[in-house]
Amino acid sequence: MSNNERKMIKVALPKGRLGDQVYEMLEKTGYECPEIKEGSRKLIFINEEKGVSYFQVKPTDVVKYVERGAADVGIAGKDIMLEYDPDIYELLDLNIGKCRMCVAGPKGWHDDVERTLKVASKFTNIARDFYARKGRDIDMIKLHGSIELAPIVGLSDVIVDIVETGNTLRDNDLEVVETIVPISARLIANKAAFQFKTKEIEDMRDALAKEVQD
Ligand code: PRP
């Protein structure tokens, strides 16, 4: 099949370091679009010859573009998938953007099961599911950032959040209480697009798979 007969793949890339890393992988495998590195404020980058266009969106929005078919494929953290449970195909673990979803609290903190546990998080579905499985009553406090502040100032007992290096916890005298699940970036696809553009999407998945490092 010549490039001209190939269907364009629309890729939703998360803005930021993860998106940059994934773009580097795609560039190496022949899906380059040099304009993307020029530092403009453009949000769409198209390389007709390579049959690819990139949208740069907020990491949490990638699943929305893909689920609704505005993008054919995208790159999203497993955390976002667990939190929003989008109706998409998960095609490949890229083994980057690695971190873990944890319960964290002040150093030496112990749970008092007689009391309702106050839990602050951006990931309220993950947190609720985790404690529901334990049969633990919680008071869920949804926050949008600086989650680590909550147990320090007494807004919550613990937090459910992403831990990567552990620096944010350490710098705030907090520690991991329990790991809920390991997280990494995944290549995801819109279900209808995967039927319509199977070859193009599988080629991209296979090319990326060769770049995945253990
Ligand atoms: C995430 C997370 C932690 C931090 C963990 O925040 O919410 O705060 O990274 O990383 P570390 O273990 O390497 O310190 P992010 O920087 O994504 O910003 P946010 O506060 O908007 O969630």
Nearest to 13 by CA among 58, 67, 70: 58
- Determine the pLDDT at residue 37: 87
**Considering only CA atoms, which residue is closest to atom 3 of ligand 1?**
162
* pLDDT in the model for residue 40: 86
Collapsed DSSP state (helix, strand, coil) of residue 174:
strand
pLDDT at 214: 82
pLDDT digits (tens, 9 = 90+) for 63-104: 999 999 999 999 999 999 999 999 999 999 999 999 999 999
Residue from 146, 165, 168, 173 to probe ligand 1 pocket by mutation (most atoms less than 8 Å from CB)? 168
Q: Pairing between strand 174-183 and 9-14?
A: unpaired
CB 102 within 8 A of CB 176: yes
Instruction: Give the residue among 61, 67, 53 at the shortest CA–CA distance from 6.
Output: 53
**Cβ contacts of residue 70 below 8 Å, gap of 6+?**
10, 12, 55
Q: Strand 52-57 vs strand 9-14: parallel, antiparallel, or unpaired?
A: parallel
pTM for the whole structure: 0.92
Residue ranges for the chain with pLDDT beneath 70: 1-5
Identify the residues whose C-beta falls under 6 Å from ligand 1: 145-148, 161-168
Ligand 1, atom 21, lies closest to the CA of 145
Residue 98 one-letter amino acid: K
Closest ligand 1 atom to residue 167 Cα is: 14
